[in-house]
Amino acid sequence: MTEGTAPKITAQERAGVLGERLKERIYASLTLLAVLVGLAQNGHASHLGAAASVAVTALGLWLATLVADMQAHPVAHGRMPRLAEIRHTLFVSSPLLTSAVGPLLLIGLSALGALHLTTALWIAVGSEVASLAAWGCAGGLRTGAGPLGAVVVGALNAVIGAGVVAVKLLAGH
C-alpha cells in the first residue's frame, strides 16, 4: 500500500463495520428513548434544557465508548491503538452522536414555535421506536426472512423500544 491510499477491505469486513455502527445506533436509540420519555413526562423542560439533555446524553455515550475502547485495546492487544484503529473507533462510534440529530431538530422546531415541546419530544420518541422497527425490518429482509418475516422482526424491535418507554412511564420519571 502506498502512502495516502486507503487499505482495501473485503465485503465481510465492510459488513462487520456497518454492523458495529448499527449496533451503536440502536444502543443510542434505546438510551435516548429513556431520556426523551423522561423529558416528555416532566412537562417543565425548557427547549434549552431538553436540547442539552439530548446532546449531553449522546456525547456522554460517545465519550464512554471511546474511553472503553481505548482502555480495552492495550489489554486485548498488548499495545496502544494505532492511528488507523483510532479512526476506526471514531467511525464506528459516530452513530452515538448522530442519533441525537432527529430529536434536536424536533426540539429546534418547537423552539421556533412549530409545535409544543412535549409534542416534539413524543414525536421524537415515536421516531426512535419507528427507527428500531425499520432496522429490524431491514435485518429481516437481509437474512432472507421475506416480507412477513421482516415485518415480524421489525415489530419485535419496536416492542423492545416500546418496552423501554413503558419502563420509563411506569417508573414515573
Per residue in 27-75, pLDDT tens?
999 999 999 999 999 878 999 999 999 999 999 999 999 999 999 999 9
The radius of gyration of the chain from alpha carbons, rounded to an integer in Å, stands at 19
pTM of the model: 0.86
pLDDT tens string 59-115: 999 999 999 999 999 999 999 999 999 999 999 999 999 999 999 999 999 999 999
Cell of 28: 443510542
In contact, 25 and 95? CB cutoff 8 Å: yes
Q: What pLDDT is stored for residue 1 in this prediction? A: 47
Q: Write the DSSP assignment of 126-172 as a string of letters.
A: HHHHHHHHHHHHHHHHHTT-HHHHHHHHHHHHHHHHHHHHHHHHHHT
pLDDT band at 11 (very low <50, low <70, confident <90, very high): confident
